[in-house]
Amino acid sequence: MQGRIFNFVSVSAAVGILFLFATLWNLQSRDILYTNLEEYEKATPTKNTSTVPEEVVADNTTVSNTTETVEPTPEPTRLSFYEIANKWGTDKVTTHHYNHMYEKYLEPIRDKPLKMLEIGLGCNMDYGPGKSYYTWLEFLPNVDLYYIEYDKACVEKWAQNMTNVKIYTGSQSDTDFLNKFINSSGGGFDIIIDDGGHTMEQQITSLDKLFPIVKPGGMYFCEDLQTSYMEGYGAVPGAKTMMGVISELLNDLNVNVQGAPPLQHEVGREMRSVECGEEICGFFKKELGKTEVRT
């Protein structure tokens, strides 16, 4: 009995010893594995995951060919003639719709140096003078601005508040005054606008006397043509109206055949075209070298 017990103990001890040696061997193997991994990581270069530069110059300076997108700074939006005129309150765009004519013909040249005459400072307007004056100065930044105004007292009162403008006082239907103005101003206007008294005599006389001092290729505008149908402005039976003159000028522009009657208006010799809109007409002068002799 004792021999059996001894044999069992001996076997158990042997198994325990074997298990102990196996455990120690396993632990030693792990240490070797961990050591080998550490040595492997040290010996093996770390993989470069960064972006390879597109170009490397000789001094090892990295240069990227990638172009950085820079959003352009938007230019400030410039106001149109309508917006400027509406801001200053002139009836050119409130009561009337002259902006269509002026934006068509003046917008393309608004940044050029321009010599301009406007007849009528606005002294007879309920809102007072100067609305068109401020409009033109803002719309045409390089304008050399002239005015003809019949109300001398108004001019003396308001001229002190105005700069960059030359104002002549007199009546647009007075040919002697217009001659003096032509001599003093030197003529050569790129633009003339008749926004004066609107009577038939005033509009017709001004066109006859002032269209000749428009530069070749320049333009002349007559506003408020609705008065050609108003008795209070001289549109009485048998009288010549501004719209009647315009009709005759259109005939003159088309008198280009042999044996045609003489021109009814001398200014038609230098006129290239006439364009009319709502209560306004524009008269356009021929360019240099294109004036024709017509009899």
Say how far apart CA 206 and CA 222 lie, in whole Å. 10
Structural contact between residues 235 and 241, judged by C-beta atoms closer than 8 angstroms: yes
Assess contact for 172 and 97: CB atoms under 8 A: no
The Cα 245–Cα 138 span in angstroms is 33
What average pLDDT does range 9-33 have in this prediction? Answer: 51
Q: Which residue has the tokens 């594995």?
A: 33
Q: Which residue has the higher pLDDT, 167 or 8?
A: 167
Split at pLDDT 50, 70, 90, the class of 125 is confident
C-alpha to C-alpha distance for 188 and 180, rounded to whole angstroms:
15
Q: For residue 74, what pLDDT is reported? A: 65
CATH class, range 81-285: alpha beta
Amino acid present at 130: G
Residue 15's alpha-carbon distances to 5, 8, 12, 18, 21, in angstroms, are 15, 11, 5, 5, 10
Banded pLDDT at 12 (limits 50, 70, 90): low
Q: Mean pLDDT over residues 63-83, rounded?
A: 74
Mean predicted confidence (pLDDT) in 217-244: 97
Closest CA relative to residue 207, chosen from 197, 193, 218, 217: 193
Of the two residues 231 and 43, the one the predictor is more confident about is 231
- The mean-pLDDT minimum among 62-66, 202-206, 268-272 falls in 62-66
State the pLDDT at residue 124: 85
Query: If you average pLDDT over residues 65-83, what whole number do you get?
Result: 76
pLDDT over 80 at 87, yes or no:
yes
Overall average pLDDT of the 228-244 stretch: 96
Query: So where are the chain's domains?
Result: 81-285
Average pLDDT over every residue of 191-203: 97
Cβ neighbourhood burial of 196 (10 Å; 0-12, 13-18, 19+) = buried
